[in-house]
Each structure stands twice: as structure tokens, then as C-alpha cells.
Amino acid sequence: MTAKSATAVAATTGSTRGQSQWALIWRAFCKRRMAVCAAVVILVLITTSVFAPILANAAPLYYFGYNRFEYQEAGRTLRATITQLIESRTSDQSKIDAQRLLKTLPIQIGIMADAIAPDKAAPLRTIGQDLLSAAVIPDQAKSIEELKRLQRDLRANFDAKDLTLVSKSHFPVFQSLNGLEVFFLCANILFLLLPVWKRLLRVLFSADHEDRRKWGLVVILIVIPTLAGGLRWWMVPSRVDRTDYKNGVFAADSTADRAPVVYESVTWPLIVYSLDEYDLSGKSAAPAWYPAAWCPTGKDAASMKPTSTWSGPHWLGTDEAGRDVLCRIIWGGRVSLSVGLVAVAIYVAIGIVVGAIAGYFRGVPDLVISRLIEVMICFPTFFLILTIVAFFGPSIMNIMVIIGLTGWTGIARLVRGEFLRLVDQEFVLAGRALGYSPIRIIFRHVLPNAMAPVLVSATFGIAGAILTESALSFLGLGISKPTPSWGGLLADGREALLHAPWLIHFPGLAIFITITAYNLMGEALRDASDPRLRGSR
């Protein structure tokens, strides 16, 4: 070894001395530019899928105005609910759930009261309270008479034709989100701001309180999104918004009195199309930038007449039902990426527990588990998945669970091998001498040092799970329609390959980019976790 190389080795050793194994892996990973780019691509894909309701939707993100259709539907539902309550007090008590109807009343009253002036809203809320009281009057005849009177008052005094609705700020897209979507939106935003939180925690807690910093990150990345999603699920009832926002007009328009929505100002998503919005007059239209030689129909999306004032361009064309391809790819990414992440999370959890038991206790547990792993490996995984799907039916949950229950063997063998290597190390023997329980030694001392190969395998596993889901959907055994997935979009485009090839190209490109990014990231993590390859780049 020359003096120059010895000096470089010494400098490298000095700069990494005192750093943890994970810090060294992260440092080596960041030196690989292709891997960093792949990680950015994955992060962009996940973020795009999480924000799918905000990026691609036929409802506005925000508008200032009033929603006549929502008010009319709430009034119609309220009157129908009162009719059902009247029937529940007669002969159909066993068929009608009165408690559910009583929960519906205040929701519809609240929607109507929020849309009208305060002087009109006050008597409407009073009627709502009277309805709840009349529905529980012990005297059946008196209860029915009072409910009918209140129903007549609603029809006479609170019809949408006779009232002037009040313009307010509305957020239709955000109001339609459920608790799970709110959880992932919050978690994604907080994760993207991770450098900010780390710097803030360094300011709040000194280096002597490293545990507090870690718990602070747990609270920010897990607890806060969980609370946000839970509060949304608990406090805001889920509802289906059927308003035709695209047929809304501005207040100055002459048709404002008949429009379902009247705007004074409005902000639309980037892609102004919903998941199932179709237009048969514009079906199989190629993107405007698509090469003419690849477009046998001779029709492109730019030549299509917009279906409404608020229609935007079809950047990736339309399918055979006139649905926007880009919108369906974005929403399909939610299914494909979630299948990969959840399925791998299931089999990583199973593999870690099974491999840790076999590697730590050895003996009979190791023998039994090793034979079980060998039996599972004998079955072709894909054909086993096909068999189980044929029995239980295609659904996103079945596919995630099936892939998770059949893919744990590789993780279990990796964890077992790492435990066999680490279980006789000095720190494990010291833990036993101090009287630590096996569970504490496994999960607090041995497992953190055995996770590097597991992380590498999980990265490759996500790519494999996405490919498996795409193959199942392509064969018609995956996610059931109308829910889109990338494999399902490929299957739909297969029938239109000759006259609409872009229906195959764009979903296939999405699958290719995703799997390539995960594989590049997995190779970089494999090299970074190997001390012999860590400094090779």
C-alpha cells in the first residue's frame, strides 16, 4: 500500500469513526447518484398517489358561491327520512332502523342551515329539534301527526325555489376525504418536511437527549397523522357528493337561477376529470403530442370539443369510454403502490418473527421452522396466488394478504442467518448475563443489527409485489373493476392495441419506471450495507 492510499484510508476511517451502522449505510447510499434519483422518483410516485384526490378530480379545490343541488338533495333526503320515521311508528318497525334515521336528521338539517341566511337558519334548526322530539313521543298518533306537520312546514317554508342561498367558501375535495386519506395526506406532508422537524428537534433537545429527539419524530410522523385521521373519521360523517360542479356557472350568468352550483370564484385541480367520468363522443383520442404515425384513428385529444366550460386537456389521451388516461394512471398508482408496500410489510413482519425465533433459540425451533420454509419454497408462488385468488375472489385486500402470506420465506432465511451470526457476539452474551429476557435481546439488541439485509430484500420485494399485482390484474384476477390499477389498465389497453396503443404504453411505462427505481434503490442499499463494497464508489 502506498503512502497516499494509506493516508486516504486513514482519513476515511477517521471520518466514519463513532458513527452508527445505519449512518454509514445512509452515507454510502447518498454517494450513489442513480440510487438517490431512484429514491426521489419513488417519493414522487407515492406523493402523487396520496394526493390523487387533489390532483385529479371533477370537483373544485375551492369555490366561493352556493350549491343549490346540495341544498335540494338535503331537503329531499330530509323529507324522505321523515316519511320513513312515520312508517316506523306504524307497522314496519321491524324493517326500518329508527335510530339510523334519527342520526340522519341533524346531518341534513345542518347542510340546509349552512346554505341559507342566519335569520332563516334559526327556525330551520328549531324544526330539526322538534323533529327529534316528535319522533320519540310515546303517543303514536300524536307523534305521527306532529311529524307530518313539520314535514309540511319544511316543504312550504324551506324550498330551494323560494329561498336565496348565501355564498360561502367551500372546499368540496377536502370535504370528501375520509379518515384514511387524511392520515396518509398528513403523514406524507410531514415526511416531506422531515429535515425541518429534525432541525427543530435539535434546537429543542441537546445531544444528551437523543431519545427525546427520536420520540419527537415518532410523534410527528405517526401520532399526529393518526390523530388527524381518527378525528376526521369520528367527527365528520362520510358522504357521497353527487353535485355536477362542471355545470355550475358564475353569478353573472343568465342561467344562474337553474344551475346546480353558482360561483363567484373557483379553483380547479390540475386534472379536471374524475376517475369514472366518461365521454363517448371523445373516446380513444390520442394525446395532442402523440406521433401521428402511432395514431391509426387520426384523432387526438386536442381536437375534441370540451364537454363543459371547465374541461381541461387530456394530456395522455382518453380510453375507449372517453375517460382521461392520466387521471386513471394516477388513481391506479394508489392501488399498485399500496399493494406493494402493504404486502411487503406483512411478509417482512412474519419473516422477522419466524427467522428471529429460528436463529436465536436454534435447536428444535430452528429445525421445525427450516423444514417449514423448505416446504413453502417448493410451491410456485405465483401459481399458489392464482389458486387462492380463484377460491376467495379478486380484491385488493385478498391480493395484499396472499402476497404477504406467501413471500415471507426469503426474509425469514435472511433474519435467521443474521441471528446465527450475531447470537454469540459479546453484546448478546452480556445481555444474557444481565438477565435480559429473550424478547428484549431479540428486538432491542440483535434485530437492529440484522435489519440491513432485510431492508434490501424488502426493497426488491416491493418491486416484485407490484409486478405480481400487475400480472394478476392483467390476467383478470386482480383488482375488480371499476377500481383501476396499472395491471388492469394494461388489460383494458390490450384489446385496443391496434387502434389506441397509448393505452398500453403509458401504464406499462409507469410499471417500468416504478420497478426500475425500486431495483436501483435495492442494489444501492445492498452495496451500502456491505462494508467491502461501501467505499467502491
The string of DSSP letters for 156-170 reads HH--GGGS-PPPEEE
What pLDDT score does 261 carry?
93
Mean pLDDT (whole number) for 4-14: 45
Asked if CATH classification 2.30.30 holds for the domain at 68-163, the reply, yes or no, is: no
CB 506 within 8 A of CB 325: yes
* β-bridge partners, 300: 286
Q: Are 340 and 466 in contact (CB under 8 A)?
A: yes
Residue 10 confidence class, pLDDT cut points 50, 70, 90: very low
Average pLDDT over residues 131-141: 85
CA distances from 403 to 335, 409, 465, 475, 508 (A): 14, 12, 7, 16, 21
Secondary structure of residue 95 in the 3-state scheme: coil
| Mean pLDDT, residues 99-122 | 88
Write out pLDDT tens, residues 252-264.
888 888 889 999 9
Q: Domain map of the chain by residue range? A: 68-163, 177-235, 325-529
Sheet bearing 168-170, strands edge to edge: 168-170, 62-67, 261-267, 249-250
Give 102: exposed, middle or buried? Use CB within 10 Å, 0-12, 13-18, 19+: middle
Cβ-proximal residues to 449 (8 Å cutoff; 6+ apart), any chain: 21, 418, 422
Q: Is the dihedral of CA 354, 356, 357, 358 positive or negative?
A: positive
Q: 267: pLDDT confidence band, cut at 50, 70 and 90?
A: very high
Average pLDDT, the chain: 84
210: its cell numbers: 437523543
Contact between 328 and 316 under an 8 Å Cβ cutoff? The reply is no
pLDDT at 14: 47
Beta-bridge partner residues of 249: 262
Average pLDDT of the segment spanning 210-228: 90
Q: Mind listing the pLDDT tens digit for each residue in 302-338?
A: 666 777 778 888 888 888 888 899 999 999 998 888 8
- Upstream peptide bond of 138 is cis (omega within 30 degrees of 0): no
Q: Do domains 68-163 and 325-529 have the same CATH topology?
A: no
pTM value is 0.85
- The torsion region of residue 363 among left (phi > 0), alpha (psi -120 to 50) and beta comes to left
Query: What cell was used for 135?
Result: 319522533
DSSP reduced 3-state for 239: coil
Of 52-61, 143-152, 294-303, 317-326, give the range with the top mean pLDDT. Answer: 52-61
User: Is 56 a residue whose pLDDT tops 50?
Assistant: yes
Task: Tell me how far apart the alpha carbons of residues 5 and 306 are, in angstroms, rounded to a whole number.
Answer: 67
CATH architecture, domain 325-529? Orthogonal Bundle (1.10)
Question: 3-state class of 525 per DSSP?
Answer: helix
Segment 176-197 mean pLDDT: 93
Q: With pLDDT > 90 as the criterion, what percentage of the chain qualifies?
A: 31
